Amino acid sequence: MEANYDLARANMIEQQIRPWDVLDQKVLDVISVTPRELFVPSGKEHLAFADLRLPLDHDQCMMTPKVEARILQSLTLQSTDNVLEVGTGSGYLTACLATMCAHVDSLEIHGQLSSQAKQRLEKISIDNVELQICDVMQDWNADKKYDAIILTGSVPAYDDRFEKLLNDNGRLFMIVGAAPAMQATLYTRGNQGEMEATGLFETSIQALIGSEAKEEFVF
């Protein structure tokens, strides 16, 4: 029997995403039309809509659907926004972002993941994304600023390198802390460069590669 992905997607929205306080209709509409089943690893399509983190290559994971939806809602994206995503992963969140805004630059350290994401995005005719393969913590320098920035991996403490890339009124989504209780936080840049932090929810996700807390050695 052919899987009914439309029904599974609708159930995901009603049973997981809405109950987690995602009520922004623009976000719900994007999730309802973005084929998550195309972005999960081959053979895992039946798990695409489950409340699970799904494993990707290189020991990476897709976030749960409800966390992805909360991220999208928190950013209050506009159709004119330019967005930076740090960590392309499967490309699913990239696809949602691109549907909601003008342009997405998405950075991924693993070339294989970036290549897979490119193929998936092309399959659903998303062409307002530039994918780059780089280590953002080591060898990437931005030549422009953004209206919204999303880190799809956690960092041990607030990292101010990203706030410098925000336009006035820009929003930065970052998950900060150590497992098992990390804090998802939205940082907003004011007109005078001041940053305001708003705590959103607790979660636990993988660390952004290169951002892991370093051990201190005493000699």
pLDDT tens digits in sequence order for the chain, 219 residues long: 347 999 999 999 999 999 999 999 999 999 999 999 999 999 999 999 999 999 999 888 999 999 999 999 999 999 999 999 999 999 999 999 999 999 999 999 999 999 999 999 999 999 999 999 998 888 777 889 999 999 999 999 998 889 989 999 999 999 999 988 899 999 999 988 889 999 999 998 888 887 764 443 333
Quote the pTM value: 0.92
* pLDDT for 199: 95
* pLDDT for 7: 95
Q: Which two tokens stand for residue 109?
A: 């350290």
- Is residue 29 classed as helix, strand or coil in its secondary structure? helix
d(CA 46, CA 40): 9
Number of other residues whose CB lies within 10 A of the CB of residue 91 = 27
Would you say 62 and 131 are in contact if contact means Cβ atoms under 8 Å apart? no
* pLDDT for 216: 39
Least Cα distance to 85 among 136, 39, 124, 123 occurs for 136
* pLDDT for 215: 41
Locus of tokens 């953002």: 136
Which domains, and CATH codes, for the chain?
5-203 (3.40.50.150)
Would you say 1 and 35 are in contact if contact means Cβ atoms under 8 Å apart? no
d(CA 102, CA 206): 28
* pLDDT for 212: 63
